[in-house]
Amino acid sequence: MSSHNQIPDDQTIERVVFEVLRECWGPPLCDWFNGRFINKPEREPQKTDRIIGDVWGDGDDAGYFALEVEKRLGIVIPPAEWEIVSTVQDMIDLFKRYRDRAV
């Protein structure tokens, strides 16, 4: 998404979530090379995937993922709101609810 205080539409939110998900899937390995070329999903991520469990093993990795999506969309989500997120669809819905806060 480009800057200039543009509010992302539904398709942009979904596209960015899945772009970051594909780029960052799974826990990082030893270095950039391993993280980019070895640690890749064996299937396409789904909206029903659980953020912690199916995608990442712990909340730290999921947190970095969420921060990267926030940065790319320009939408800041209050920390307490993340407690209700368990699936990729939950994350997409949360960004849609807060889209009017795009910076």
CATH number of domain containing 20: 1.10.1200
User: Which of the four pLDDT bands, split at 50, 70 and 90, describes residue 55?
Assistant: confident
d(CA 57, CA 70): 21
Structural domain includes residue 1: no
Range of the domain at 32: 10-101
Instruction: Name the domain count of the chain.
Output: 1
Q: Is 50 strand, coil or helix?
A: strand
Burial class of residue 17 (count of CB atoms within 10 Å of its CB; 0-12, 13-18, 19+): buried
Higher pLDDT, 84 or 32: 84
Section 86-100 average pLDDT = 93
